[in-house]
Structure 1
Amino acid sequence: MRKNLLLIIISILFFSFNLPAQNVRKNANFQIHIKKSSGGIKIDGLLNDEAWKEAASASDFYMCNPFDTLCANVRTDVRMSYDDKYLYISAECFLKPGQPYVVESLKRDFNFSNNDNFLVFIDTFDDKTTGFSFGANAAGAQWDGQMSEGAKMNLNWDNKWESATTYSSNSWIWEAAIPFKSIRYKDNSTIWGINFSRLDTREKEKSAWAPVPRQFPTASLAYAGALVWDTPPPAPKKNVSIIPYMLGGNLIDFDKSKQVGKNQIGADMKVALSSSMNLDLTVNPDFSQVDVDRQQTNLDRYELFFPEKRQFFIENSDLFDGFGVDNLRPFFSRRIGLAYNSTTKGYDQTAIRYGARLSGKLTKDWRIGILKVQTERNDTITPIQNFSMVTLQRKLFARSNVGLFFIDKQSSIELESQRKNGIQDYNRTIGVEYNLASSNNFWTGKTFFYQTFSPISAPKNFAHALNLSFKNNNWFGIWRHQWVGTGFNPEVGYVPRVGYFNVNPEIGKIFYPKDKNSKIFYGQAKIMKIGFWNEAGLRTDNTNVFATDLIMKDRAGYSFWAASDYIRLLLDFDATRVGKEKLKAGTEHTWNSVGFNYMSSAIKKFTYSLNTRFGGYYANGTRVGITSELAYRFQPYVMFSMALDYNKIDDVDWVNEAQTVTKKLNSEFWIIRPKLDVTFTNKLFFTTFLQYNEQIKNVNINSRIQWRYKPASDIFLVYTDNYFPENLQIRNRAIVLKLNYWLNL
């Protein structure tokens, strides 16, 4: 049956290659005609250069929220120009009299909903799928991201560009110069997709130049207008960027009475092989400056997911980690640099020696991605390993695409202890995937078939899934199903469980107010079912959910949910995950639970949120979960927040195999996360983050100073401590000073 399914999908793939690609733009009548500048433009946020007077302009924005049939209440004027090196964009965002702006801080890549902001979305290939976004909040904090899947934004993408912002009582002005070297685009093209988005939180209005239906984000490239060039953008010249770094530091492991000095150099390189194809290289990379993960209490049976933040893996990342769905990913780049330790049942860090990534457009309809990374040997546990991936994607119809990939993990096994750690000579995954996106965003979805191979391949080494959803102004619905064999084992992927068939339908009603004076912005109610069956057809999991959400115009939000759960354990499970007695495989568990969530308006300087869960748990137990976060900002320079995560498990029945001894298992877990963000300017930042996690018995302090002394060039000072929570005895400590410099050749 698997072979037949694979043949069907491959047949559809090759048949689809001969179908014509459609290029229908919903807002084709919205055009801005850009002309080459006749004079210089200084990026100072003042708009007093002569070149701006003759620049192309756009105004008359349309309201997207709370209504999508009206003109915007607040005025926004945009101008665009260019020269041989830069694309210039300015926006003057007018304010109602006496209305101050609202921002969280000067920190880069801010939270969109919590800041007055202006953003531009640029579809440089006019494919309504991929692109770039730039912008700022009203205080001048920069925003940049790479776009994929029509509206998805990767804010971990970072590149070289300049901007400045000024503020007056009547408006705030953003002015930017984006080097053509920093973006990828189609050579000799005279039309790009473009849209501009403005959020004014006090006016409670989101608007866009080219109108976007309110059920979709303003980033939706399907609704972008057209940027029409008087002549094609400058042909790309030699474009090679080297980003060398050097660091010095000291690492102390108090458990092992071991101190190691860390002095290291390395470099990244970006080579534009064409205007649409980029080669990323890295040698001896270091990621010590990357933001720490926000820790979570895990009371589920499966591994938690944390997103990739390392810069080397970011550009065109959708070509690699865009395959699959949330809980079924054939490639997960955070597996590279981590090695599984069968003794500790956890992951050990391994260093990356070098890496190369080729990604971009081959033609208008074809994209390619090639990745190669080698990691170092980790003592006797993990050998030198090579990770490779090749992907090929073809655009179909208006915005859909079909893709193929091959993933290979090779291990240079030297010791028998490495085989005992579960290391195999190789692990490979192949797959084909179709992504659906209709021209108006009404239909979206994907379907795929994957298969894995290794020297000791188990049978049923396949995975298949189908997601299909629709959304309009009144209703939305989703059908999801997955079929994963017991032998499916992508070692470079994220697949928490195998050996199941799953269905997950969802349907919901959307409510928008008809009264313009209503304080309500949006509401929805939905029902959802999640069911799992094993390969013998036995039901193992079933969850029924009813949920409702209400968002106010000031962006305060309320939600309520109720759920019923049934679980038949497939393996022994420690319901507390702290090493207590395990519930036995084959036992059945049912419970009901409810939750209420609230998030305050971001307009006020003091903000807070509350998320709750009350109800049953495994083995007739009960569980209470409360997560809250309080924050206060001294706008725009300082923000202090305190997050609390509390979980309590009571009266979980444990019975031994002889059915003679019964215990009541009880546990209580806290995570406490105070955080201080100081943004002295939009180029100098200080962050201190403390995390006390009772479940993993650790207290972590991470402090970081970042000075962006030139665009995309930084100095970092990072200090990290880990302590035992019982007596605050120190476990390990590290301090690192790192300098990098972006050099264009």
Structure 2
Amino acid sequence: MSTGKLTLLLLCFCLLGNYALGQKKNAAYQYHIKRATSAIKIDGVMDEAAWQRADTAADFFMVLPMDTSRANIKTSVRMTYDDNNLYVLAVCYTPGAGPYMVQSLKRDFDFQKNDNFIFFIDPFDARTDGFSFGANAAGGQWDGSMYEGGKVDLSWDNIWSSSVKNYGDRWVFECAIPFKSIRYKKGTRNWGINFSRNDLVNSEKSSWTPIPRQFPTAALAYTGTLVWDEDPPVASSNISVIPYLLGGLSKDFEKGTPVSWRKDAGGDAKVALTSSLNLDLTVNPDFSQVEVDQQVINLNRYELFFPEKRQFFLENGDLFSNFGYSDIRPFFSRRIGLNAPIRFGTRLTGKINKDWRVGVMDLQTGEATVGASAAQNYGILTFQRRVFSRSNIGILFVNRDATGSTPASGVAGSAYNRNVGVEYNLASSNNIWTGKLLGLKSFSPGVKGHDFVAAGHLQYLSKYWTLYLQDEHVGKNYNAEVGYVPRSGYNKISPLILHNFFPKSGAVLIHGIQLSSTYYFDEAFKRTDNESILSYVITFRNRSSLSFSGLDTYVKLLRPFDPTNTGQGSLATGTEHHWNTADVQFVSKPQNVFTYLFDASWGGYYDKGTRLSLSGQVGYRFQPYVNLTLNTTYIDLHLPLPYGQNSFWLVGPRADVTFTNSLYFTTFVQYNQQVNNVNINTRLQWRYRPASDIFIVYGDNSIPSPFTVKNRQLVVKWTYWWNI
């Protein structure tokens, strides 16, 4: 980043500092919670005396399709508590007897495709992080940890119970959240709270507090206040032990090896050092039940990104993984345990008080099973300090050290890689202004100079306008071996402008025009590539959408590149390529049991070639038990010799069957023509008690034609969550 641009960004952030100091927007919306006067049974029936005494939160505000009136669909919420649990009951009224719109009984459903009720808890009232719970109208549960002021990580999982009961004119959600399952500060009587309702039949999304339509109902900047009548109970002994036992077999048909039998054991432990600070321990962790990644046809010049799905890395994971940008991540947990078993690990995360968050993680791996590399130790330390109303300053240190000897040499490894960074995250009190300033430096043996990162962005988001500007500098020697930084040695600038229009009537709810560009330069500020996109997006009142885009692309190759990624030869370094592309996309309304998405693009490609890309998704649900989807991508490339014509299919049918809200079956098949592989992954999960599961997982990989099995594996895994 140039000195002038950095100075301009710093000046903007300083001027916005006072703006960020504003008071909580919806502080006047208060819910006074009282201790329960009777026992609560979680059955969806409001017949306990405690519910009759509880206050009621009602008269929700409409967020979609418009944010200028009260909701048409009525919802009322009551809360109470005892020594062990926080209780929430929501009565979701409907104009008729249904049918309700739900995908299935599967946990962590798609918010946009389900009639649901969800609430958001901010125990520190810091408007930056918290927890979310809820259910759809069929009883499928939703839970997640919240970060960055309104994002929900649905991979977070913990113990709680709920029930949904359907009546002729309403459905009722009732739940119990153990105080042991959430993190909060002892003696804090004011929490952030909000309730959200999504009603697909009537195309209405509503919220207890008023929220501008450009923000999600999860936006913690717009929560009300949960006022306790006394200090929230402190969970007594809060230690959980989560052991697992695993048995399985696998066979590699390509190598012709005999069947390999696997027997394994390990587990995790969670120790609440305080009500808001948690210590996690893991020994010999196993992640065989984690869902497989969704494949893509890879025509990229740089490494693809796939998100973390392993449970150990998820709670408060934003402290570590959200430092930086999507393509500048100094820490990426999927680097740990890549082709190497994790032997043990420990992690301390949580809040010290309202303003301070901390994260410390240390993991030890064994020798790599591929590449004969030494065992490694990974240490990560991060602190986050809230400033102004919702902004924060973060510090991150990442260290990787070889701790063993490689099988090949027998010599103790001494290689290391370290990263240190600081960032300032701006978030105004009303969320209209957001931004970031980032600085990073890496340390590697024998490397000096050009090993730092300076980046920043600033965004203005209102109902009518979105203005965005991002600037990045990544030195050519910057090295984040435990991170995800697919590109180095560049300067980047990315502006965006969007304007929305709101018709007063008719089928169109909102339409807008957007122009965005991404320009890359080398360290001497000579252009290397850029892409500009002009789009027109239409959202209809029934929540379907249609968009048209035109793209202008220029690339000057900085290294040899095979434009088919199939090993047919590479275009030379320094060659220049320029083309245009037209794209259209349509997404159907989510209310139907049959849904679909279609995207088509056609234009130029490398070496004066052409590219046709068609992708789509169709889905059908047999409510509430079966959800069927089919993802399909077809790409056709026409290039000069030696490449010629190349076409690739990626077909991914998937079936999710939820027999109950605790018994799930998933089958996911992926045929990828580019890599000539068919992958099958099936998983049966029985949640026989809260947060305790039995998994049966089968997977195989095959060559489609002539059909030849490459490998197969079957795993049975048992886990048990034991609260001591």
TM-score tier (shorter) = over 0.9
The amino acid that maps onto 1:367 is R
Q: Is the 8 A contact 1:23 1:127 kept in 2?
A: no
User: Is the alpha carbon distance of 1:171 and 1:11 closer, same or farther for their aligned partners in structure 2, counting shifts above 3 Å?
Assistant: closer
1:181 is paired with a residue whose SS is: helix
Question: Does the 8 Å CA contact 2:21/2:428 hold for their aligned counterparts?
Answer: no
1:523 Cα offset (Å): 2.4
Aligned to 1:502: 492
2:361 corresponds to 1:382:
no
1:151-166 → structure 2 map (5 Å cutoff): 151-166=150-165
CA distance in 1 between partners of 2:107 and 2:373 (Å): 37
Report Cα offsets for 1:104-142 as digits up to 9, x if no partner.
Answer: 111110110000000000111110111100000110000
The equivalent residue for 1:530 is: 518
CA distance in 1, matches of 2:669, 2:634: 16
1:411 CA drift (Å): 1.1
Say whether the 8 Å CA contact 2:240–2:269 is kept in structure 1.
Answer: yes
The residue aligned with 1:563 is 551
Structure 1 CA distance, aligned partners of 2:368 and 2:271? 31
In the other structure, the counterpart of 1:289 is 289
The CA deviation at 1:386 is: 0.7
Q: Does the alignment pair 1:90 with 2:89?
A: yes
Aligned to 1:660: none
Counterpart contact for 1:609–1:628, Cα < 8 Å: yes
Equivalent residues of 1:412, 1:425 under 8 A apart = no
Offset of residue 257 of structure 1: 2.1
Paired letter, 2:269: M
Aligned partners of 1:439, 1:82: CA distance in 2, in Å?
A: 30
Equivalent residue letter for 1:240: I
One-letter code of the match for 1:369?
A: G
CA distance in structure 2 between the partners assigned to 1:253 and 1:558 by the alignment: 46
On the 8 A contact 2:373/2:406 being kept in 1, the answer is: no
Deviations 1:376-435 (Å, cap 9, x if unpaired)? 112462211111100011000000000111100111352485799xx8610000000000
Residue 2 and residue 547 in structure 1: after superposition, are their counterparts in 2 closer, same or farther (change >3 A)? closer
Aligned partner of 1:667 in structure 2 is 646
Superposed structure 1 runs of 4+ greater than 3 Å apart: 1-13, 18-23, 415-420
> Which residue is equivalent to 2:276?
276
Q: What residue number does 2:310 align with?
A: 310
Residues 504 and 696 (structure 1), Cα distance of their counterparts in 2 relative to 1, 3 Å cut: same
Instruction: Give the Cα separation in 2 of the matches to 1:85 and 1:412.
Output: 44
What residue in structure 2 maps to residue 431 of structure 1? 421
Per-residue CA deviation, residues 553-608 of structure 1 (Å, 9 max, x unaligned), is 22211111101111000000000001011000000000000111111111111111
Q: Which secondary structure state, in structure 2, belongs to the residue aligned with residue 433 of structure 1?
A: strand
* Paired residues of 1:92 and 1:172 also in contact (CA < 8 A): yes
Q: Structure 1: which 5+ residue stretches go unaligned? A: 339-348, 655-662
Q: Gapped runs of 5+ residues in structure 2?
A: none
Q: Secondary structure at the match of 1:504?
A: strand
> What one-letter code is carried by the residue in structure 2 that aligns with 1:557?
S
Match of 1:627 in 2: 615
Partner of 1:733: 712
Aligned to 1:698: 677
Q: Cα 1:536–1:117, aligned 2, differ >3 Å: closer, same or farther?
A: same
**Do 2:97 and 2:167's aligned partners in 1 also have CA atoms closer than 8 Å?**
no
Matching of residue 233 in structure 1 with residue 212 in structure 2? no
Query: Contact 1:508 / 1:526 at 8 angstroms: preserved in 2?
Result: yes
- For residues 8 and 283 of structure 1, the distance between their equivalents in structure 2, rounded to whole angstroms, comes to 49
Residue 690 of structure 2 corresponds to residue 711 of structure 1: yes
1:364 paired residue number: 354
Q: Match for residue 393 of structure 1?
A: 384
- Whether the 8 Å contact between 2:20 and 2:427 is mirrored in structure 1 is no
Q: Deviations over 1:60-116 (max 9, x none)?
A: 001011111101001001000000000000101000124321001111101100000
Does 2:338 correspond to 1:323?
Answer: no
Measure, in 2, the Cα distance between the counterparts of 1:473 and 1:10: 26
How many Å separate the matches in 2 of 1:522 and 1:681?
A: 38
Contact kept? 1:27, 1:223, Cα under 8 Å = yes
SS in 1 for 2:35: coil
Structure 1 equivalent of residue 183 of structure 2? 184
| TM superposition shift of 1:458 | 4.9
Moved more, 369-378 or 1-10: 1-10
Distance 1:2 1:568, change over 3 A: closer
- Which residue number corresponds to residue 344 of structure 1? none
Shift of 1:253: 1.1
The C-alpha deviation readout for 1:9-38, integer Å capped at 9, x for no partner, is 99999x99x999957211111111000001
Matched residue type, 1:399: R
Choose the corresponding residue for 1:547, options 535, 539, 542. 535
Q: 1:726 to 1:643 in 2, by over 3 A?
A: same
Work out whether residues 377 and 384 of structure 1, in 8 Å CA contact, stay in contact via their aligned partners in 2. yes
Q: Name the count of aligned residue pairs.
A: 720
Q: Does 1:646 align with 2:646?
A: no
Aligned to 2:504, what secondary structure does the other structure show? Answer: coil
How big is the alpha-carbon RMSD for the aligned residues of Structure 1 and Structure 2? 2.4
Aligned residue type for 2:322: G
Following TM superposition, by how much is the alpha carbon of 1:4 offset from its aligned partner in structure 2, in angstroms?
A: 13
1:459-491 deviation per Cα after TM superposition (whole angstroms, max 9, x unaligned): 300111111101111101100111000000100
For 2:251 and 2:363, how far apart are their aligned partners in 1?
Answer: 28
Distance 1:642 1:592 in 2: 29
* TM-superposition CA deviations, 1:511-553 (whole Å, max 9, x none): 22323xx332332210011111111222100111101221222
Counterpart AA for 2:377: N
Alignment identity in percent? Answer: 48
TM-score by length of 2: 0.96
Contact in 2 for aligned 1:37/1:51 (Cα 8 Å): yes
Q: How does 1:97-176 map to 2 (within 5 A)?
A: 97-176=96-175
Deviation at 1:666, TM superposition (A): 2.4
Checking the alignment, whether the CA contact within 8 Å between 1:330 and 1:490 is kept in structure 2 is yes
Following the alignment from structure 2 to structure 1, what is the Cα–Cα distance between the partners of residues 580 and 321? 35
Change (3 A) 1:687 1:109: same
- Alpha-carbon distance in 2 for matches of 1:632, 1:475: 36
Distance 1:4 1:613, change over 3 A: closer
Aligned residue number for residue 266 of structure 1? 266
Q: 1:268/1:586 Cα in 2 relative to 1: closer, same or farther (>3 Å)?
A: same
Tell me the residue number matched to 1:332: 332
Q: Is the 8 A contact 1:424 1:455 kept in 2?
A: no
Corresponding position of 1:352: 342
Question: Aligned ranges for residues 33-52 of structure 1 at < 5 Å?
Answer: 33-52=32-51
Change (3 A) 1:418 1:702: farther
1:688 corresponds in structure 2 to 667
User: Within 2, Cα distance between the matches of 1:410 and 1:560?
Assistant: 49
Q: Which segment is superposed worse, 411-420 or 675-684?
A: 411-420
Deviation at 1:147, TM superposition (A): 0.4
Structure 1 residue 55 displacement after superposition: 1.3
Residue 635 of structure 1 aligns with an amino acid whose one-letter code is Q
Distance 2:166 2:28 in 1: 32
From 461, 473, 488, give the equivalent of 2:463. 473
Note if 1:452 corresponds to 2:442.
yes
Report deviation, 1:676.
Answer: 1.0
Distance 1:416 1:590 in 2: 48
Alignment CA distance shift 1:416-1:584 (3 Å): farther
In structure 2, relative to structure 1, the CA distance for the partners of 1:323 and 1:182 (3 Å cut) is same
Q: Amino acid of the residue matched to residue 325 of structure 1?
A: Y
For 2:414 and 2:517, locate their aligned partners in 1 and report how far apart those are by CA, in whole Å: 38
